Structure 1
Amino acid sequence: MTETSAAISSRLNWLRAGVLGANDGIISTAGLVVGVAGATTSRAAILTAGVAGLLAGSLSMAAGEYVSVSSQRDSERAALDVERRELAREPEAELDELTGLLAERGLSRELAREAAEQLTERDALRAHARVELGIEPDELANPWHAAFASLAAFTVGAVLPLLAIVLPGASARVPVTVAAVLVALVCCGVAGARLGGAPVPRAVLRNVAGGALAMAVTYAVGTWLGTT
């Protein structure tokens, strides 16, 4: 069975969200551990801060995504309920409305009417949901799936700078972490640009510049605090 365009679009949206979540995990955790490394050489302190940042960031991402997707799902369900009531009360008016919407998409009035009648006979609510509301009734976003996906993506991204900062010796921690993070940000920039259909060089430059700036600022602040 071939995938519908809606299913493919949904999958691409999930992939983009995963890349962005991982990117957030990389930058926020890298900024945190590099900042702490600027203030102290204690591996335990750096590891504690990094793990705390990973947990706080991933749980925050999961909670935010759950709330956001739950609100979206509630809105979509409310719109479907309204459409269901209108179909029950004024079926002819809804048929005319569907005909007009199909005609606006380029069909002739006669063909639009015929298509609207066939779609209504098959599943009136689904037809109006797709054409009028842009909603796939059987594929409403699941807030729990979104929350766990965000948590997992952020965690995967955060693990890289955490390992890069605690595994090397004290003198190599920051250079190794910076190098690993910049390479990871290049990969995330490329993946995000290709999934979103954006120019790759610009996306990579933005991503790398943002991550480098975050690490530079937090390292400078950490070094200053450690000195004072």
Structure 2
Amino acid sequence: MSPPPPREPETMASEPLGEQPPVREPTHKWGIGAFLLVEGVLLLSAAFIGALLQPSTSDQRISVVTIVVGSILPVLIATGVALLITRLRGNGPRIDLRWSYSRQDFKVGLKFGLIGLVATTLAAMVWTKIVGKDNATSAFSALVDSRSLPVAAAVVMFLYAWLIGPVCEEIIFRGLLWGALERLQWGRWAVFGLSTAVFAVSHLEPLRTSLLIVIGIPIGLARLFTGRLGASVVAHQVNNFLPALTVLLISLGVMAP
């Protein structure tokens, strides 16, 4: 009588050949404190640079430097700190902030950006009727309102408002803040709602907070539905194009403020 065949190990029966356990992305060690630090850096650097560049005369050249550098540099510094935090306390921006820029991100971002552009335009029209034209002007538009800028400065402001600024703001709000709230194990809709509200309030324009919430909703939805930052960046850039173009034309004196 031949001996019975050897039994296979139980592990081979429980784990079919070729199947691998799901790979979990590594978690980061930074949280809400990182976002608060970045916001503090933004406010302090804006105050410091504003005081440093405060013109002592009515020289137009000094005024231009104050507008361009004072508006852009604090946001770039704060964004740099946010990216550095993901390197020192996490796994880098690609993993921690869900950074990507694929064709799908572009398509979804474009769709939500166009929806947001229409919604923002309609909301701005209603808001202007309620509070008046003077009170409806954004802080960014007020920087170049009723003054002409050199062509180079006007183009820099346009490119910043349209392309660069949205990248920076998305890294801070839909990247760093979003990731910090997820680390607290908040639900995805709660993260979306709070990050949208904080985005609006952080602009420090109390009269325009409700309008900024309308602006932030489609941008946040692009982040929510894709789970990636690239889509919200595109949506933000699409939404900012017409306002940035308007500021460019006003600053060059082509359009009346």
Q: TM-score, normalised by structure 1?
A: 0.30
Structure having greater relative contact order (Cα 8 Å, sep ≥ 6): 1
Question: Which of structures 1 and 2 has the bigger CA Rg?
Answer: 1
